[in-house]
Structures are given as structure tokens and as C-alpha cells.
Amino acid sequence: MNSTKHRNSSAGQSREVVLVICAVLLVFLFFATGILTRAFHKKEDALAAQWFAKGNTSLASGAAREALDDYRRALIFDPENEPYQLHLAQALAQLGRQDEARAYLLNLLSDRPGDGEVNFELARLAAQTGDINDAVRFYHAAVYGAWESDPVAAQLRARLELSQFLVRHRENTLAEAELISLAANIPDRDAELHTLAGDLFQSIGDLHRAFNEYRFALKAAPDNLTARVGAGLVSFKLGSYIKAAEDLELANKADPENKTVATTLETSRLMIASDPFSAQLSARERANRVSAALAHAIQRADQCSSASAKNPNASSLAELAAQAKMQQRSIWSERGLLLRPDQNDAAMEMAFKIENASTQICGEPAGEDAAMRLIEKKYRAMQEGAPE
């Protein structure tokens, strides 16, 4: 009887021991499985990150095909990773597979509607296809969207790209509004962006704002040659020839091979030296300049009519020059103009008429003749009541 009880007790203890051992083994296996699972996922994440980094390197070097494969491998190990999907869409866009890229991006946008970068990539796709409405919509969403890093710079970049897109498509009214917003947010120290804004304002004909942007750029970086040239050329277009000459002189010293700068600088200097309508000229200096302008116009007419004798209009030009010479010997001489200042305008009208006739026969003017065209433009504006 006692022996039976002892056996039963031993069997019970054995079962308890087995159960404890099994429990311990289960706990061990549970933790071991967890450790192995975490190690597996960690390995997956590491492999995904490696392929993603490789894809970024390929994309940056222009190898979009290789980048696409790398991003796809990264997504095998981490299929829900949104940055990986975004970069995959960028690679597709670079390969010209816009529809696929757009599908990826729209899927991302449904989960992240306010994401600046996703909207930015969609805007770029729309810009590639020339879709103005979608481009404006997505660029605006990018400008006002959320960015993970350096949001101010990212928003400026989006605004700049939108402005450039609108300028390319000659949507000047929309472009000007975007450029005004862009310019208002450019940091004072960012000479490059101020210069780009100046170039864009100039391209749509907003010369005053262009000039202001170039000045901001030069304040931040006085050696910025692009801004210096831009400021000089805009001043020239605005008729501010003294300012133009100042900037173009510096630009010409920095880049003497720039033909546009050299030619515009020469014309500015000639305009400053020969303009008879400049304020504060003495009566003698005004008479001298009018007389010189008429003499130069006659000289050009003589050369043009001789070189183009077979042109049917050459004889008319020669007759016009002869009339001017006859007047030049009397009231349109320097002395005559000094005595009769009321004849200055009539003498200049004749000079303009001769210059225009010469241009029709012998082609576009250069040098002093180009300056004469600008003088006439200024004179006509004065007649219409425009400020000098």
C-alpha cells in the first residue's frame, strides 16, 4: 500500500518536472523565435537600406534604369516604405514612364495629401507634359505643403520652378504673380536666387523689378558677374544710360569677350556723349550736339547711297542728304543753331529721317547710328509727355 502511494507520488512529481521543463522550453523557444524574427527583420531592413542607398547613388549619377532596379529590390524587403516608393517614382519619371510614376505618386498622395515632396514630384510630371492647370495646382500644394527637412528652401525651389514653367509657356501674368511672391521670400544673402529672379522678371518685361533683384544680388555678392550684366542691360533698356555704363564697364573688365556687353557699353557711352536732349546742357553744347548728329547722319547717307547705288531708294536718300547739307550751310550749322535754338528740333527731325532711310537701305545701325535711334526714341517719348 505504501509502495503504491510512493510510486504515485513519484509519477506525479515526474509529470510536474516534465511540465516545468516544457514550460521553460516554450518560454525559451518564444524568446528565441522573437530574437530570430527581430534579427530577420533587422537584416531585411538593412538590405532594404543598402539597396535604397545604391539606388540614390545611381539616380544622382543619371543612371535611372539601375536606380529603378535598386529601388524595386529595396521594396522587396520593405514594401510599405513610402520614401522608397517616392524615389521609385522619381526614377520612373526620369525614364519617361510618366504614367507609372504618376500612379505611384497619386497612391502616396492619398495617404499623405499635404506632403510637399509628393506634390512637388506630381507638379514636375505635369510640367513635363505641359499641363498648366495641374502644374500650378501641384506646385502650389508643394509650396504650402509639409516638408521634412529645410521647408523654406524647398518651398522657394517649388515657387522658382513654377515661375520658370510659366515663363516658358508665356503665361506672363501668372508668372509675374509667382515671381513677386518668390522675390518677397528670398533671403537677402542668396545672390544666386535673386539673380535668377531678376532674369525671369526681365524675360517677362518687368524691368524695374528685374533691376531691383539684380541690385539685391549685387549687394550680397558684388562680384556676381551675371547680376552685374543683368543690371547693366536692364538699365540700358530703361533708358538709364549712366547707370548702364557704370555696371557694363565693370562687367566688361571682368569678361571682355562678351560681345553683348561690349556693344551695349559702347552705345551707352555714345548716348551719354551725344544726346542733345540731356537736361542741364548749355545752349552751346546743345547746338554742338545737334550739329554733330546732323553731320553724322549726312555722312551715313552718303556712304549708304554710294554703296547701294542700284537700290531704287538710294536716289531719294541722296536727295534727302542734299537738302540737309543746304540747311547745314546756313541755319543748321552750329553757329546758326546757337543763334536760332528753336531750329534744334527741326534739325534733329531731319537727322532722324535720314537715319531711318539709311537703315531701310543699308541695314540695322551700329555705333553712333544705334545711339541716334535711341535718341529718337527718347525724343518721341518726350513729345508724348513721358518723363525724361
What pLDDT digit, counting tens, does each position of 65-76 carry?
A: 666 566 666 656
Residue type, 187: P
Q: Which three cell numbers stand for residue 48?
A: 532594404
- As a whole number of angstroms, the distance between CA 24 and CA 21 comes to 5
Is the per-residue pLDDT at 40 higher than 50? no
Q: What are phi and psi of 210, to 5 degrees?
A: -60, -45
Q: Which residue has the cell 547707370?
A: 243
Beta-carbon contacts of residue 209 (< 8 Å; ≥ 6 apart): 179, 180, 183, 201
Q: What is the pLDDT of residues 231-252, one digit of tens each?
A: 999 999 999 999 999 999 999 9
Instruction: Write 339-343 long-range contacts (CB < 8 A, 24+).
Output: 341/283, 341/286, 341/287
Does residue 326 fall inside a structural domain?
Answer: yes
pLDDT for 313 equals 83
Q: What is the pLDDT of residues 209-233, one digit of tens each?
A: 999 999 999 999 999 999 999 999 9
Residue type, 2: N
Question: Could you tell me if 245 and 253 are in contact, meaning their C-beta atoms sit under 8 angstroms apart?
Answer: no
pLDDT band at 27 (very low <50, low <70, confident <90, very high): low
pLDDT for 306 equals 86
Q: Which residue has the cell 516545468?
A: 20
Helical segments of the chain, H only: 2-60, 64-77, 82-94, 98-111, 116-128, 132-143, 151-168, 172-185, 191-203, 207-220, 225-237, 241-254, 259-274, 283-307, 314-328, 334-339, 344-362, 368-383
pLDDT band at 310 (very low <50, low <70, confident <90, very high): confident
pLDDT band at 331 (very low <50, low <70, confident <90, very high): very high
- The arithmetic mean of pLDDT across residues 78-87, rounded, is 64
Is the per-residue pLDDT at 300 higher than 80? yes
Is the per-residue pLDDT at 207 higher than 80? yes
Does residue 303 fall inside a structural domain?
Answer: yes
Mean pLDDT (the chain) is 85
Is the per-residue pLDDT at 1 higher than 60? no
Is the per-residue pLDDT at 34 higher than 90? no
Is the per-residue pLDDT at 180 higher than 70? yes
The sign of the CA dihedral 51, 56, 61, 64 is positive
- The arithmetic mean of pLDDT across residues 40-62, rounded, is 60
**Across 31-40, 187-196, 300-309, 378-387, which has the greatest mean pLDDT?**
187-196
pLDDT band at 62 (very low <50, low <70, confident <90, very high): low
pLDDT for 86 equals 67
Q: What is the pTM of this model?
A: 0.77
Is the per-residue pLDDT at 148 higher than 50? yes
Does residue 277 fall inside a structural domain?
Answer: no
Is the per-residue pLDDT at 359 higher than 80? yes
Does residue 63 fall inside a structural domain?
Answer: no
Does residue 353 fall inside a structural domain?
Answer: yes
Domain count, the chain: 1
Domain assignment of residue 314, given as a range: 284-383
Between the two ends of the chain, the Cα-to-Cα distance in Å is 133
Does residue 174 fall inside a structural domain?
Answer: no
CA torsion 114-118-119-122 (nearest 10°) is: -150
